[in-house]
Amino acid sequence: MIAVDPGLFSSLDPPRLAGARCASCGTVTFPVQEGCARCAGTELAGVPLADRGTLWTWTVQAFEPKAPYRALEGGFTPYGVGYVDLGDVIVEARLLGDPACFEIGMPMRLTLLPLWPGPDGSPVVSYAFRPAGEDA
């Protein structure tokens, strides 16, 4: 398993996203940034983000985006997109699960999103959130 970008995860098993916390003002960014968007501080330390949160807003991508988007193996199918409030930071994410049951405020949990095979055949993964009540 390879992350689509090495900076996204603090661990893949179990999956945890990698954020950064500003030493001056406590702002948490995702992914890691070298400068703080709030106070312009430059001392930010890596911090694993919570793997559970609540759905802050959502939609569905119903048409296939143009490049640089790459469809998953098997071609494009509509997918959910949303922002999930993890407490310290609100993160934009692909959503798994039935959009008919998406609701602002519903509990969500982090999961891996298999994308496509990497150069050595092992899967390249990104992250997604799914309703916390659903099985993986």
Nearer to other proteins, 28 or 44 (CB): 28
Contact 56, 37 (CB under 8 A): no
CB of 88 to other proteins, least distance (A): 7
Contact 20, 48 (CB under 8 A): no
82-94 per-residue burial string, b: 16 or more CB within 10 A, e: under 16: bbbbbebbbbebb
- The verdict on 81 binding other proteins (CB under 8 A) reads yes
CB of 54 to other proteins, least distance (A): 11
Nearer to other proteins, 5 or 43 (CB): 5
- The verdict on 16 binding other proteins (CB under 8 A) reads no
Q: For residues 71 and 117, give the distance between their C-alpha atoms in angstroms, rounded to a whole number.
A: 12
- The verdict on 134 binding other proteins (CB under 8 A) reads no
Nearer to other proteins, 93 or 109 (CB): 93
- The verdict on 91 binding other proteins (CB under 8 A) reads yes
CB of 135 to other proteins, least distance (A): 23
Other C-beta atoms lying within 10 Å of the C-beta of residue 56? 16
Q: Which of 11, 23, 48, 70 binds other proteins (CB under 8 A)?
A: 70
Which residues are CB-neighbours of 11 under 8 A, at least 6 positions away? Answer: 48
Amino acid identity of residue 23, one-letter, is A
